[in-house]
């Protein structure tokens, strides 16, 4: 199974250490997905997603997560 992490600052203000926080969260999930990891943060720095990937079915780079739509306005990790 893959591992999913994330957080959102409800005040809407940027979290300056957000990248470090999500990196540590992903590190704690390393047993869930040793094949790859990914990060995403909103432009305003208030929302962060992390993903640890266990590549079983889709081994291509197209399966990397978090993944966004064509114009980058919607991002998911599942």
Active site residues: 2
Only one residue has tokens 């980058």, namely 72
Please, are residues 38 and 64 in contact by the beta-carbon 8 Å criterion? yes
The two structure tokens encoding residue 54: 């266990």
- Measure the CA–CA gap between 57 and 41, rounded to whole angstroms: 26
């Amino acid at each position: 199974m893959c591992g999913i992490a994330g957080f959102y600052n409800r005040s809407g203000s940027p979290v300056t250490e957000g990248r470090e926080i999500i990196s540590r969260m992903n590190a704690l999930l390393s047993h869930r997905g040793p094949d790859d990891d990914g990060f995403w943060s909103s432009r305003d720095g208030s929302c962060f997603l992390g993903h640890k990937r266990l590549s079983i079915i889709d081994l291509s780079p197209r399966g990397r997560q978090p993944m966004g739509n064509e114009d980058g306005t919607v991002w998911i990790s599942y």
